[in-house]
Amino acid sequence: MPEFAPPVDHLDAVLAWLAAEPADDPVVDLTELRKHLDLPASQDIVGTQRLQALDLLRVRALETILTEKGYVDPAALDSIIETYETKVGPHIGAQVVARAWVDPGFREALLADASKAIARLGLEQTVGDHLIAVENTPTTHNMIVCTLCSCYPWPVLGLPPGWYKSFAYRARAVREPRAVLAEWGLMLPDSVEVRVVDSTADYRWMVLPMRPAGTEGWSEERLAQLVTRDSMVGVSYALQPEA
């Protein structure tokens, strides 16, 4: 998508305009948006980009106000963003899953209280008070969603992917989870019970995916390579070992 950088002195106008717009209205007047963003009439802004532009504007406006009022330090914000962009990511969750696959005691502790179990591994747990791990088995498949907004287990998975925050995923995951999974190539037999878990600001969830067959005797490090972000959200299986 294009870079949007509205001049700061336009923020008041943008804020007033946004305040008058319904938050989720996709039919925003493009002429107005261009005017407020100072974009030439030829600049093409369509569909999702338009919504993303609005989100960016809201974030920018909020950040400016909070900074001006002294509530947040821009350097602290930058450092948080850098941490989640470069240091915290699904590789952490993958280590947790791999450990649970090889260590039954840890698996039990993880399923009993994921926050405590992960803290004992020395991994940082900074977002949300309670992380809960749910186990996928041959008879039960859990998938995670936040129907309200985009609550996600940041400390173990990093930043949420765009689709996780989309209206479509949030609505369809609860209404027709099997269809959503099937579109992503995960066909679950009718005999498998699907549980959709709704995250909140207080309770974040992660999925402990099934350990792939043919990985007996593998090291944790090697196993972790099979654990994908999507498998820990419950929208796919862990990768199969290459034959």
> Is residue 120 classed as helix, strand or coil in its secondary structure?
helix
Nearer to Fe ion, 33 or 146 (CB): 146
Q: Whole-angstrom Cα distance, residue 51 to residue 46?
A: 9
Q: Which residues contact 151 (CB under 8 A, 6 or more apart)?
A: 128, 199, 200, 201, 204
Binding marks (x or -) toward Fe ion, 128..157, rule CB under 5 A? ------------------x-xxxx------
CB of 156 to Fe ion, least distance (A): 16
How many residues form the binding site for Fe ion (CB under 5 A)? 5
Q: Are 199 and 151 in contact (CB under 8 A)?
A: yes
Among the listed residues 146, 199, 231, 236, the single catalytic one is: 146
Q: Are 50 and 32 in contact (CB under 8 A)?
A: no
Residue 150 appears among annotated catalytic residues: yes
Q: Is 182 in the site for Fe ion (CB under 5 A)?
A: no
CB of 148 to Fe ion, least distance (A): 5
Q: Is 233 in the site for Fe ion (CB under 5 A)?
A: no
Q: Is 173 in the site for Fe ion (CB under 5 A)?
A: no
Residue 115 appears among annotated catalytic residues: no
Q: Whole-angstrom Cα distance, residue 52 to residue 49?
A: 5
Among the listed residues 151, 199, 231, 236, the single catalytic one is: 151
CB of 121 to Fe ion, least distance (A): 25
List the one residue out of 137, 135, 136, 150 whose CA is nearest residue 198.
150
Q: Which residues of 76-88 are buried (b: 16+ CB within 10 A; e: fewer)?
A: eeeeeeeebeeeb
CB of 41 to Fe ion, least distance (A): 37
Q: Is 197 in the site for Fe ion (CB under 5 A)?
A: no
Among the listed residues 42, 79, 115, 149, the single catalytic one is: 149
Catalytic residues: 146, 149-151
Chain contacts with Fe ion (rule: CB under 5 A): 146, 148-151
